[in-house]
Amino acid sequence: MKIASLSTARLRLSAPDARDIPEIVRLANNIEVVRTLARVPHPFGPEDARYFLDEVVPKEPTWRIGRKSDGALLGFVGLNPMEKPSVMERGYWFGQEHWRQGYATEAARAVVDHAFSKLGVETIVSGHFAMNPASGRVLAKIGFRETGRSKRFSQVAGEALAHVDVVLERSTWRGRAG
């Protein structure tokens, strides 16, 4: 799926690139990164990176998050179209060495702003496993609000785990943006 490149103060968000496969594997083949993701396997090898690029990226707008200062690949953020085209589901992951520097908040905010201002999206649903408060914090900072609790299957755990469901609507986003 063709996506627009996005720019923030420190990040460049652009189309995923097959040249990144070794770095994707290095960052994603880490149980700490994937244990809080629903559908990423562990261990994670080059064939999993290839599946991501060939099967997921063409169907779901996905941005490679690069650091402007040195071009380093930090992680990915995506929007998964739901049944209605005006509703998208957001997901992201970053290499562990890049956590806690505000990158997820910066990248997710850029994609949310793009979805509402350019893609005609009305509602973005998201969520996180209850054992992942860092993601909850990122979503709260962007303006997502909790709508309920559910259970969602985790590929790594092999079972359904407690999940916090959140939503951000265009009206709330506009309110936040003033």
Q: Which of 69, 71, 100, 158 binds ligand COA (CB under 6 A)?
A: 100
3-class secondary structure for the chain? CCCCCEECCCEEEECCCHHHHHHHHHHHCCHHHHCCCCCCCCCCCHHHHHHHHHHHCCCCCEEEEEECCCCCEEEEEEEEECCCCCEEEEEEEECHHHCCCCHHHHHHHHHHHHHHHHCCCCEEEEEEECCCHHHHHHHHHHCCEEEEEEEEEECCCCEEEEEEEEEEEHHHHHHHHC
Rule CB under 6 A: say whether 37 interacts with ligand COA: yes
Q: Which of 21, 28, 57, 104 binds ligand COA (CB under 6 A)?
A: 104
**Binding map of ligand COA across residues 145-174, x = CB under 6 A, - = no contact:** ------------------------------
Q: Which of 44, 63, 76, 94 binds ligand COA (CB under 6 A)?
A: 94
Residues making contact with ligand COA (CB under 6 A): 33, 36-37, 75, 92-94, 99-105, 128, 132-135, 137-138
